[in-house]
Amino acid sequence: MRKNPPEKVSQDKVIFDVSEIEPLLSGPSLHLKPWEPVSVKLKTGETMLIREAKKEEAPLLLSYLQEVMKVDHDFYDIVGARVYAEVLGWYRNRLKDPYTLLGLIDGKLAGFANGRLMNKDINISLHTMAFKRGARVGAIMYYAKTFYAFEILGNKEFWATYESYNGWKRWGVGMAQPSYPWPDYQHELGGARVYYITKEYWDAVVREYIEDYISTKFEKPVSEELLKKNEKLILPEKVEV
């Protein structure tokens, strides 16, 4: 769009350096407190480490998510596409205050969970995925996000929505999450219904979810040996979802 200036100007061109534009496009960060790695004993007897993903691991994750997009059941095609965009948004600095957690067994990717902060009070759950079957990895990774929101970041609310029936059953119903009136409140994932957990509800009920549902708990600090075993991300040989 063009419009003539209402006054004489000394320069008819104003040139920006992209480094001046970037702060406007990416926005200021809330500088999230880091996730401290934890270990968790799975029902299979294996030990899974949950740690933050590293930016340099994003291209490897993206290559795997391309294969997830090809899965034609249980909405993994749309979940894979949306998670691909979220990981790319994190990698390219086009996602506001994101966090990305990986569940690793001897370096091999077993689980994934991510989200972002709308503001200092509201934590937006994006996606949770399990790549190891029969170990309730998905439930553990989802719980890790809620733990991060309330115990580390000090958020007041955790907002989620669900694309698949299994996710809604396991976590929406499993954690007995109430929902906000729709369409007054809409989740950013397709404008779906917002299910939420408050800090008060977390303290009263949900904090014990992982022990009640899975009979396990997070352990920390994590040994240097376990950290070293899971330092390098290894992709599964095939997509198992």
Averaged pLDDT in 10-residue chunks for the chain of 241 residues? 93 94 91 97 96 98 97 95 98 97 98 98 98 93 96 98 93 94 97 98 91 87 97 94 84
Would you state the pLDDT for residue 212?
Answer: 83
Would you state the pLDDT for residue 123?
Answer: 98
Question: What is the count of structural domains for the chain?
Answer: 1
Is residue 84, in this structure, part of any structural domain at all?
yes
Is residue 20, in this structure, part of any structural domain at all?
no
Would you state the pLDDT for residue 120?
Answer: 97
Using alpha carbons, select from 75, 191, 176, 181 the residue that is nearest to residue 128: 75
> Which string of b and e fits 186-199 if b means at least 16 CB within 10 Å?
ebebeebbbbbbeb
Using alpha carbons, select from 164, 121, 120 the residue that is nearest to residue 142: 164
Is residue 209, in this structure, part of any structural domain at all?
yes
Is residue 239, in this structure, part of any structural domain at all?
no
Under a CB-based contact definition with an 8 Å cutoff, are residues 66 and 83 in contact?
no
Q: Which domain holds residue 117?
A: 31-229
Is residue 240, in this structure, part of any structural domain at all?
no
Is residue 16, in this structure, part of any structural domain at all?
no
Is residue 45, in this structure, part of any structural domain at all?
yes
CA–CA dist 232, 93 (Å, integer)? 23
Would you state the pLDDT for residue 214?
Answer: 77
Would you state the pLDDT for residue 213?
Answer: 81
Is residue 116, in this structure, part of any structural domain at all?
yes
Q: How many CB atoms lie within 10 A of CB 35?
A: 19
What CATH number is associated with residue 57?
A: 3.40.630.30
Would you state the pLDDT for residue 194?
Answer: 98
Would you state the pLDDT for residue 149?
Answer: 98
pTM of the model: 0.94
